[in-house]
Amino acid sequence: MMRKISIILSLLLSAALAVAVFKIVQTINIQQKEKEDFQIIAELVNTPTIPDETVSAEETDEKKSETESTRNIAPVLEQNADCIGWIFIDGTNINYPVMHTPDNPQKYLRLSFEKKYSQSGVPFLDGRCSLQDGNLIIYGHNMKNGTMFSDLKKYLDTDFREAHKTIEFQTADGVFLFEVNDVIRTNISDERYNQINSTDGRILALSTCYGSAKSDRLLIIAKEVTT
């Protein structure tokens, strides 16, 4: 009798282990597919535009030098009207479209750029924010596979922070540069999440989960560089 119970328990444990392994593999495959989908979008954005034949080579080189960071984001803006820009940080995997849906602020928390269910979601601008004026708060998941805003934790390293101070945020109006000046381990009750209005220059805050509690967050604060 005891042997039968032992066999049954062994089979149940094996079945449970198989289900757990299947779910882990399934999650890895889903996240890898989502990563590849974003790489396709990034390639589309980084595709150079056809040069204007009426512009001389010298003028083209000069313009390229002046707008070296500019990407061709027009295709993604056209593909999805919820997309309002592109965020890029050199030395990280952060190279993504940014969504904005004020009427449904967290729409892209678990939605892909193609508007399908997604574990990764898409970085999105706080619904209270506006591109026209005020500060900007952008949210993104801290994915275990290193995508989305996972690389923000690199800023906890002082050397990395000093070497990668610039954050690029591009919209239809051009490229806006922000310089990192603060890295904060905090939680969702932090007052900085309510600092929407700009008082002394525009601030960009990047937020992601970080820590053992569900409410724990990592905030990267950067001030706009003006000329």
pLDDT digits (tens, 9 = 90+) for 165-211: 999 999 999 999 999 999 999 999 999 999 999 888 899 999 999 99
116 located within any domain:
yes
5 located within any domain:
no
146 located within any domain:
yes
178 located within any domain:
yes
Instruction: Give me the domain span that covers residue 55.
Output: 45-224
50 located within any domain:
yes
CATH number at residue 112: 2.40.260.10
How high is the pLDDT of residue 37? 73
Look at residue 21 and tell me whether its pLDDT is greater than 70. no
Contacts of 71 by beta carbon, 8 Å cutoff, 6+ apart: 45, 46, 86, 88, 170
Q: What digits encode the pLDDT tens for the residues 128-148?
A: 999 988 999 999 999 999 999
**pLDDT-derived band at 66, boundaries 50, 70, 90:** very low
39 located within any domain:
no
How high is the pLDDT of residue 64? 40
At 123, the amino acid letter reads: P
How high is the pLDDT of residue 68? 47
- Please tell me the total count of domains within the chain: 1
Which range is least confidently modeled, 9-18, 117-126, 154-163, 176-185?
A: 9-18
Sign of CA dihedral 110, 115, 116, 122: negative
- Rounded-to-integer distance, Cα 142 and Cα 129, Å: 22
**pLDDT-derived band at 51, boundaries 50, 70, 90:** very low
Quick one: what percent of the chain has pLDDT higher than 70?
Answer: 75
Sign of CA dihedral 153, 156, 159, 161: positive
Look at residue 27 and tell me whether its pLDDT is greater than 80. no
91 located within any domain:
yes
How high is the pLDDT of residue 132? 85
29 located within any domain:
no
- Rounded-to-integer distance, Cα 177 and Cα 83, Å: 19
How high is the pLDDT of residue 44? 81
For the segment 103-127, the average pLDDT, to the nearest whole number, is 96
Q: How many CA atoms lie within 13 A of 97 on its CB side?
A: 34
